[in-house]
Structure 1
């Protein structure tokens, strides 16, 4: 072999790239599809399938995300110190796949029937399976996170730096492609109705497809096994850094007496055991890690796209003309904007700023990113205030709400003795839901007047409940109390529909292929959920079958449909709106997504680039672990604030997060102002020069017969 010839990898290649990297890229696409697809519907699964409230759903969601960003440290330790990258990826991918499968199985509605300790098994088992599945997923996805990209980089030879750089661009594209496609598809899969005994949203399918993709990712990765260049584990630099820091601290406190001279830096107390190169490199890393301290607050806001912002979208209108958007699909705005914004910012925005002779340093970019994230939450708060104006007011403690519907053929007057207020109603008209003190309602009756005839009717009411009172005069004045049972906005964009029979005989009702039992005169069906759009209503009496189209229902409404006629002239119905449909469009969330995406571009991309530029080559993994740790801590902050906050309005919580990030941004800006940029290459070159001189001095001393030179002599 020629002396200067670079050894080449004998593995098969394609277009100048090792063929093995294509298996790695496909693996990453499938894995990211699996992770982001599952995560897109996760908070809605907690809320609508497990029936957790918004705060608990948010807390568990962010606990899971935090674990996903804590476990990379464990994965890096296993890969570098024990199994190597290849076996770590394979082993933890198996754990990952099992976790996805367990989560999918746990979401099967008909998993088991029966009761145990007063709690239905069909509640216990999904929760247990879900928690086990999420723990395994967090271990799997976090464990392989630091390994896959590095393993791909290992496949290239030293002379293939250009191909390696392009590989990382392709790798990042695979991540975003998997994220974008899965965030579009899995909410659609969730909307499919499935079940053995009972029909409901198909979370088993929404979780099952990502599970299949994860299994496929594992198979594809293993298929390229014989082509991979596998680097044996050589010890983890994070362990060496931790040991160096620990020894320096212990040594400093061991020698606290004044007889020991002070040292320039506290890490210099590790010189007795560790060489100068490691100490200097650790100083550079700690300098960057110190700047990381304020960063978790950014991630505390950023990762709420999948929790609070998705829950916000459930109270909005997803009608985009011919396209209907699900709440969890709004998360696709972020990856779409990322693909657009990254090249625009790099090719247009930054050059324009440079032409204006503004010194837009990396730390200043990150500061701007934090400000943009805070502004995004201010916008989210403004949007939430507007949404709250459209939401119904439900009875508070000590209150009862009553709606009165006039089913008679004359005008009627209703007098609530509890407050003296009189309501006048024409035929088939209704009041809104009126709020009353429950105690007063139970101690006073209602006076109902048709013409010159008046009756007084008393009912018993329950606190914090909604009721409908039907009144009629067709066979004398009558009043019937219906328990609505609607004390919250219909969820998942459904519309709650019930029917009241105002005919003199029993009828059979079918709407959208959903049949109701025979409905007697003045009786009402239970509320039943229906999706948006027009429905076919069919009413059958002893003499006629009548069919008509319903109203076009929107998102989140509730209606009482009064069947008032079915004869040769067709079906006559009247609609009473019990809860208004969502009227605030999800399109109003786009500005806050735009701002948070701009924040991500100038904060996240810049932060990683800055961190890598300020650390020695062999310390990149330490900073990667530190960066991921800031994401985990950010999600823990959400847990703490969501749990400790006693704010009643969601917009108030958004303002709180924006205010906290603004305060942290000021602190970060001050830290950045005093930061001095370094050139690790130059510092390491100086270290190399010092080591060269030291080696020459030792060699000279040896040749002169002096013997080894001590550290103090040097």
Structure 2
């Protein structure tokens, strides 16, 4: 007690505002900035993998979930370092420096001008970018995971024992700062990503999208260090997690050491640790293991939940994000989750649960968690149904054994075209409605005695432009894109049928010069009203406007009859190669609602249940176990995504939903046999017996230290005494 009083005297005299130590202000601001940094970076991460590093959907998803898994594995390391070695304050500072460095490296890795670039603006030496990205992500995972178990506990350390009410309010504010940082970052960083930036070439601005979170992490570190003189910093007390692991390890080792039948059976396998550890600790470990056993099915929930940032974001790239008053980027749809949390948590706590209670239904914590898992499964059923509708709106691209062709007539007269078995008529400066499918070779007749034999590449899409060559029309072949344009942009190109070279610009982006009877390269144009400026070397120009949606592709024809006058834009003919995304992002809201409702009744209840069933000194152990289920859940995504090899994305969604439903039944079965306990009552019972147990253990240790001869004499006398008692 004297030591505790001495600590209270030496703790810093932090200013107090309304009963709260002002030091918590620095901790709350630090947490807000750190969560902004983490969620902001994570919001655009899968799109960075796909569109900057050029990884396919499966590999981008794999690396994304590997990173998230590492973020939830490292808290165990952070807790051990803080409690056993550095203390919470130093652990937060040192790992925040590592964290900040990782964010800065991520921002640098996204600068496409740090290496040579190709004609399309993509980095030439991708190895540098991949290496920097992986180093940055590993440092971020170590930093964010390492400080995760420390910051909240460090905030709680700032309060005196009599400030329970203020401490409880602090944790509510702390949780609010987490959600506020998450919400703002998932709104802002996708907007930053959508900007165009670059020194030599213009690209999506991933350096800015990663750079702002890096800056916020620098702010978080500075704010936390500034408050250093006001903090109550407790010394490391030894890690209870390590002690628990040692106790379990000793019990297992002792159990296998005494396998023979001559040793009496124990009521519980942890009782084999009684030779070294007191019964109170063993009883506490039993309570922890009982809850950890229930954690076994939980990772499947997180396997579905964390796909909001990977599969669901990729799904949104094929949808229409025009909400009228605002345009939603695919990665901004993740903001629906924190918004719904802020709405649903008070509704569930103040309305749903009381209503269920009035109906006299036993909606226990474990039953709530079961319902939460089922809601998450239904969310993936909804995602599967949405994906089916999206697939129906997507164009049919050629298989690996066929090719597709669209024909454009650039001759100023009607043409009768026969391509293989297909026959049709093309009006001047128009194209046929849809792509035609062929084998490798197509015989093409353009209404004359000449038949062209064109060889086609398997799996390709092509446009054949028919131009006038002297007296006979002839075809020119150009390759088309065979996938939806990236990130919801629109792939636009021009065919110049005019008799002189032309230049085309859109905004600040220059398409370059196009010579007569040639096709320009594709350029990505964002959604909205696009204005194209067409001009020649003589200074004559024409402005053509077109409203673009998401994910379309057009070939804009400049006909031979083009003239620079006030009606010039009307002569330009758009030919649609890929239709715009027509299925609206609003259809993702039901799946977000279901997954968020599942999170509210699963995650919040799970933390509450774990806290109520945990011994007083082992709540951090269960917190680490809870975070571990998140890590394992992300590992499950990697396994299923790699092993399933399903060709249809909707089928993968249904597979995940089915797996969670099965796990839901398993968890419900386990929960049925679980008996709720009162850890405080159990600890009090063992605390009363503790002095007696310590005395027995001390006597046993003294006997073990005795000389072998003395111990033999002692055993003999004990045996004689025992014999005499039997005779009596």
**What interval of TM-score do these two structures reach, taking the shorter chain for normalisation?**
over 0.9
Are residue 470 (structure 1) and residue 465 (structure 2) matched? Answer: yes
- Is residue 164 of structure 1 aligned with residue 167 of structure 2? yes
Which string of whole-angstrom CA distances, capped at 9 and with x for unpartnered residues, describes residues 233-279 of structure 1?
A: 01111111111111111111111111111010000011001100000
CA contact (8 A) 2:531 2:546 kept: no
- Displacement of 1:466: 1.2
Shift of 1:483: 2.1
Structure 1: runs of 5+ lacking an equivalent: 700-712
Residue 662 of structure 1: aligned partner: 661
Q: 1:543 to 1:67 in 2, by over 3 A?
A: closer
Q: Determine the structure 1 residue equivalent to 2:112.
A: 109
Q: What does 1:148-159 correspond to in 2, within 5 Å?
A: 148-159=151-162
Q: State which of 322, 332, 337 in structure 1 corresponds to 2:340.
A: 337
Are 2:542 and 2:565, in contact at CA under 8 Å, matched by a contact in 1?
A: no
The residue correspondences of 1:472-621 to structure 2 (distance < 5 A) are: 472=467, 475-540=470-535, 545-564=540-559, 565-571=562-568, 572-621=571-620
Q: For residues 282-297 of structure 1, what are the structure 2 equivalents within 5 Å?
A: 282-297=285-300
Distance 1:437 1:697, change over 3 A: closer
Range with bigger deviation, 424-433 or 159-168: 424-433
1:246 matched residue in structure 2: 249
Pick from 315, 329, 342: which aligns with 1:326? 329
Distance 1:317 1:698 in 2: 72
Aligned partners of 1:366 and 1:602 also within 8 Å: yes
Does the Cα contact within 8 Å between 1:100 and 1:133 map onto a contact in 2? yes
What displacement does 1:698 show?
12
Instruction: Look up the SS of the partner of 1:328 in the other structure.
Output: helix
Matches within 5 A, 1:5-154: 10-113=13-116, 122-154=125-157
Residue 414 (structure 2) pairs with residue 411 (structure 1): yes
What is the aligned-residue RMSD (CA, Å)? 2.4
Deviates more, 1:207-216 or 1:283-292: 207-216
Q: Which segments of 5 or more consecutive residues in structure 2 lack a partner in the other structure? A: 699-721, 723-728
Q: Could you tell me which residue of structure 1 aligns to residue 429 of structure 2? A: 428
In structure 2, the partner of 1:702 is none
- Cα distance, 1:540 vs structure 2: 3.3
Normalised by the length of structure 2, the TM-score is 0.91
Deviation, structure 1 residue 521: 3.0
Is the CA contact (8 Å cut-off) linking 2:467 and 2:517 kept in structure 1?
A: no
Tell me how far apart the structure 2 counterparts of residues 660 and 697 of structure 1 sit (CA, whole Å): 51
Task: Give the C-alpha shift of residue 432 in structure 1.
Answer: 4.2
Task: Provide the TM-score with structure 1 as the length reference.
Answer: 0.93
1:264 maps onto 2:267 in alignment: yes
The CA deviation at 1:694 is 6.3
Q: Is 1:689 equivalent to 2:688 in the alignment?
A: yes
Structural mapping, 1:383-422, within 5 Å: 383-417=386-420, 420-422=421-423
Q: Is residue 186 of structure 2 the alignment partner of residue 178 of structure 1? A: no
Q: Which whole-Å CA distance do the structure 1 matches of 2:278 and 2:291 have between them?
A: 21
Q: Partner of 2:640 in structure 1?
A: 641
Aligned to 1:708: none
Cα shift at 1:114: 8.6
**CA deviation map 1:174-216 (0-9, x unaligned):** 1001111111111111112111111111111111111111111
Distance 1:514 1:230 in 2: 56
**Residues of 1 paired with 2:136 and 2:684: CA distance?**
49
Q: 1:445 aligns to what SS in structure 2?
A: strand
The answer to whether the 8 Å contact 2:33/2:216 transfers is yes
What residue is the counterpart of 2:710 in the other structure?
none
Q: How many Å apart are 1:505 and its aligned residue?
A: 3.6
Q: Check whether the contact 1:100–1:207 (CA below 8 A) recurs between aligned residues.
A: yes
- SS of 2:532 mapped into structure 1: strand
Which range moves more in the overlay, 500-509 or 568-577?
A: 500-509
2:205, 2:123 → 1: CA distance?
20
Structure-1 separation of matches of 2:603 and 2:152:
17
Secondary structure of 2:87's match?
A: helix
Q: Retained in 2: the 8 A contact 1:398–1:437?
A: no
Distance 1:514 1:86 in 2: 50
Greater Cα shift, 455-464 or 539-548 = 539-548
Question: What number of residue pairs does the alignment pair up?
Answer: 689
What is the SS of the residue equivalent to 1:552?
Answer: strand
Out of 388-397 and 54-63, give the one that drifted further. Answer: 388-397
Give the aligned partner of residue 216 of structure 2: 213
Pairing 1:199–2:202 present: yes
Contact 1:401/1:433 (CA < 8 Å) preserved in 2? no
What do the CA deviations read for 1:335-366 (whole angstroms, capped 9, x no partner)? 00100100000000101111111100000000
Find the aligned partners of 1:310 and 1:575 in 2 and give their Cα distance: 30
| Counterpart Cα distance in 2 of 1:189 and 1:541 | 35
Q: Contact conserved, 1:539 with 1:566, CA < 8 A, in 2?
A: no
Q: For residues 696 and 493 of structure 1, what CA distance do their matches in structure 2 show?
A: 73
Q: CA deviation at 1:519?
A: 2.9
